[in-house]
């Protein structure tokens, strides 16, 4: 007898799952009238601690949910049970994970996809929507099987797009939403192995499930159906629905501008994003009341960008900024995240992508006696515009657009060519001068003429 691939490493999960099933039965009501989310699928679902503890339901990441995952189940086996669960609980959402076992048994990606769609169609027929979490690059999985995973996921991506387009013609939300797991987990594994999986190198660890908790929470909160596919907690494919509610308030209304995220993850909560600069990290820690900025680092052993430690093994208490673009989730370490646009609006930043012959904004302001703020970058933007922090007081400010035009000049009676820096020395008189191009200094030298005819204001 051949055991399902996700059972052959240990029998312990079966014993644990029996206990979990008893708890789930107690947690769910007899009629299922309070259930909003049904978790269905294989062992990745069964071992997911998603169902409320009946002794303390407030602790669940997914209140009003029930978990009906069964270790070793294929999509065909999920289909045999799904109608019973749908009739009992009548959920609004079904979180579905299946297909890896089918592929491991030798079923082709095409046939596995057909089995998957029988489950999806049964769910959608009841009016519920599906959130599918994609396959994973498990360390114990051989490359040949991983290739099948990717082909299978691609079919689901394409189908989700197709179904969203059909639903949008009826002004409905996408019935099938995908959380693209494989590419994100592959990057995390490449940079921080032995993080996402248990000792069997097949099932998710607590850290792996922390990612799923965050990503699923984001997808399930999208009631209006704005997204078809999520990737690393960001919408990677928007819904084609052209009839959103115009008067709907922004999701960020009433939310704090900066938050300290969940412990043990390397992603931000729904609606927030990673802080991109060390300057913004220092500014953000003040907003959330954190002290002790420990500086920057470049390591794949800790969360990327801005994060906070408090009594975490191996980490000095305080705030760190990690320049590693990927980083790793570490138990206890918490990302500091901001609403989109907060960093641009509140922090005097250098554009990290600006370059002049391979040199960046740090080079521009490195020598304070010879600041190179008049250099025109590879993208035709002058340094004073792109390197706002490095060029403070040298043609730029922390106000977007409030910069001096480095090309503006004025010719004196002695035929001497003067620039905005000359205007800045006596702004009350010189901001009224007209340059060679007939433009007023107060317009061209916006920063130097702040308070003297310029539209810039403190």
Domain span including residue 69: 12-238
pLDDT value of position 335: 94
Distance CA 290, CA 139 (A): 38
pLDDT value of position 206: 86
Q: What angle do CA 355, 360, 361 make, to 5 degrees?
A: 115
Q: Is residue 246 part of a domain?
A: no
Instruction: State yes or no: pLDDT of 34 exceeds 90.
Output: no
Same structural domain, 88 and 151: yes
pLDDT (tens digit, 9 = 90+) per residue, 200-235?
Answer: 999 999 888 988 998 999 999 988 898 999 998 889
Name the β-bridge partners of 56: 53
Q: Is residue 47 part of a domain?
A: yes
pLDDT value of position 191: 63
CB 349 within 8 A of CB 279: yes
Same structural domain, 324 and 366: no
Distances 139 to 6, 37, 89, 136 between C-alpha atoms, Å:
13, 30, 36, 9
pLDDT value of position 182: 93
Distance CA 99, CA 121 (A): 15
pLDDT value of position 304: 92
CATH number at residue 130: 3.40.50.1110
421 three-class SS: helix
Average pLDDT over residues 314-343: 89
CB 188 within 8 A of CB 195: yes
pLDDT value of position 22: 42
Exposed, middle or buried, 431 (CB in 10 Å: 0-12/13-18/19+)? Answer: buried
CB 21 within 8 A of CB 43: no
Same structural domain, 267 and 144: no
Q: Is residue 151 part of a domain?
A: yes
Q: Is residue 245 part of a domain?
A: no
Average pLDDT over residues 39-43: 96
Q: Is residue 248 part of a domain?
A: no
Same structural domain, 229 and 361: no
CB 230 within 8 A of CB 179: yes
Q: What angle do CA 438, 442, 444 make, to 5 degrees?
A: 60
pLDDT-above-90 percentage for the chain: 43
Instruction: State yes or no: pLDDT of 52 exceeds 70.
Output: no
Strands 318-327 and 303-309: antiparallel
Distance CA 284, CA 286 (A): 5
Question: Predicted confidence band at 7 (pLDDT cuts at 50, 70, 90)?
Answer: very low
Instruction: State yes or no: pLDDT of 13 exceeds 60.
Output: no
Same structural domain, 390 and 408: no
Lowest mean pLDDT segment, chosen from 57-61, 161-165, 315-319, 364-368: 57-61
Question: Predicted confidence band at 457 (pLDDT cuts at 50, 70, 90)?
Answer: low
Could you tell me the pTM of the whole model? Answer: 0.54
Q: Is residue 251 part of a domain?
A: no
Question: Predicted confidence band at 246 (pLDDT cuts at 50, 70, 90)?
Answer: very low
- Higher pLDDT: 124 or 31? It is 124
Same structural domain, 145 and 273: no
Alpha-helical segments (H) within 11-108 = 12-27, 43-46, 75-89, 100-104
- Higher pLDDT: 264 or 365? It is 264
pLDDT (tens digit, 9 = 90+) per residue, 340-391?
Answer: 778 777 777 777 778 999 898 888 877 766 778 888 888 888 887 788 777 7
Q: Is residue 38 part of a domain?
A: yes
Q: How far is CA 197 from the centre of its chain?
A: 21
Average pLDDT over residues 121-135: 97
pLDDT (tens digit, 9 = 90+) per residue, 389-425?
Answer: 777 667 666 665 677 787 899 999 999 999 988 998 8
The candidate with the shortest Cα–Cα distance to 103, out of 95, 93, 94, 113, is 113
pLDDT value of position 276: 82
Same structural domain, 420 and 286: no
Q: Is residue 23 part of a domain?
A: yes
Lowest mean pLDDT segment, chosen from 91-100, 162-171, 446-455: 446-455
Question: Predicted confidence band at 192 (pLDDT cuts at 50, 70, 90)?
Answer: low
Instruction: State yes or no: pLDDT of 258 exceeds 80.
Output: yes
Same structural domain, 352 and 342: no
pLDDT value of position 280: 84
228 three-class SS: strand
Q: What residues contact residue 121 under an 8 Å CB cut-off, 6+ apart?
A: none
Instruction: State yes or no: pLDDT of 14 exceeds 80.
Output: no
Same structural domain, 172 and 38: yes
Same structural domain, 107 and 24: yes
pLDDT value of position 278: 83
Same structural domain, 185 and 269: no
Question: Predicted confidence band at 315 (pLDDT cuts at 50, 70, 90)?
Answer: very high
Number of domains forming the structure of the chain? 4
Mean pLDDT of the chain: 83
Same structural domain, 107 and 196: yes
pLDDT value of position 399: 60
């Amino acid at each position: 007898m051949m055991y399902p691939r996700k059972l052959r490493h240990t029998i312990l999960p079966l014993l644990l799952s029996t206990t979990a099933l008893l708890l789930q039965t107690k947690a769910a009501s007899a009629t299922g009238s309070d259930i909003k989310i049904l978790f269905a699928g294989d062992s990745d679902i069964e071992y997911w601690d998603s169902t409320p503890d009946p002794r303390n339901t407030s602790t669940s990441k997914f209140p009003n949910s029930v978990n009906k995952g069964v270790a070793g189940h294929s999509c065909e086996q999920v289909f045999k049970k799904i109608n019973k669960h749908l009739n009992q609980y009548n959920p609004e959402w079904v979180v579905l994970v299946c297909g890896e076992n089918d592929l491991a048994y030798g079923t082709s990606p095409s046939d596995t996809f057909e089995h998957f769609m029988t489950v999806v169609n049964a769910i959608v027929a009841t009016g519920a929507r599906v959130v599918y979490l994609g396959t994973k690059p498990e360390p114990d999985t051989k490359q040949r099987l991983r290739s099948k995973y990717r082909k299978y996921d691609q079919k689901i991506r394409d189908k989700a797009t197709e179904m969203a387009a059909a639903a949008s013609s009826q002004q409905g939300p996408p019935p099938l939403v995908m959380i693209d797991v494989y590419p994100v987990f592959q990057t995390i594994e490449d940079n921080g192995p032995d993080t996402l999986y248990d000792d069997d190198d097949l099932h998710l660890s607590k850290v792996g499930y922390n990612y799923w908790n965050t990503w699923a929470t984001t997808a399930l909160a999208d009631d209006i159906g704005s997204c078809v596919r999520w990737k690393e907690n960001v919408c990677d494919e928007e819904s084609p629905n052209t009839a959103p509610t115009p008067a709907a308030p922004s999701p960020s209304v009433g939310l704090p501008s900066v938050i300290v995220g969940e412990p043990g993850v390397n992603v931000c909560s729904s609606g927030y994003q990673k802080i991109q600069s060390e300057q913004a990290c220092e500014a953000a820690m003040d907003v959330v009341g954190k002290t002790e900025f420990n500086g920057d680092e470049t390591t794949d052993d800790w969360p990327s960008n801005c994060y906070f430690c408090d009594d975490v093994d191996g980490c000095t208490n305080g705030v760190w900024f990690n320049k590693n673009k990927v980083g790793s989730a570490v138990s206890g370490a918490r990302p500091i995240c901001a609403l989109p646009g907060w960093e641009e609006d509140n922090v005097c930043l250098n554009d990290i992508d600006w370059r002049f012959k391979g040199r960046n904004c740090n080079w521009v302001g490195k020598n304070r006696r010879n600041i190179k703020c008049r250099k025109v970058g590879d993208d035709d933007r002058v340094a004073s515009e792109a390197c706002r922090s490095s060029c403070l007081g040298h043609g730029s400010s922390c106000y977007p657009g409030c910069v001096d035009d480095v090309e503006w000049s004025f010719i004196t009676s002695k035929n001497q060519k003067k620039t905005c820096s000359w205007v800045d020395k006596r702004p009350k008189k010189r901001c009224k001068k007209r340059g060679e191009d007939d433009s007023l200094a107060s317009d061209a030298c916006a920063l130097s003429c702040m308070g003297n005819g310029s539209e810039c204001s403190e």
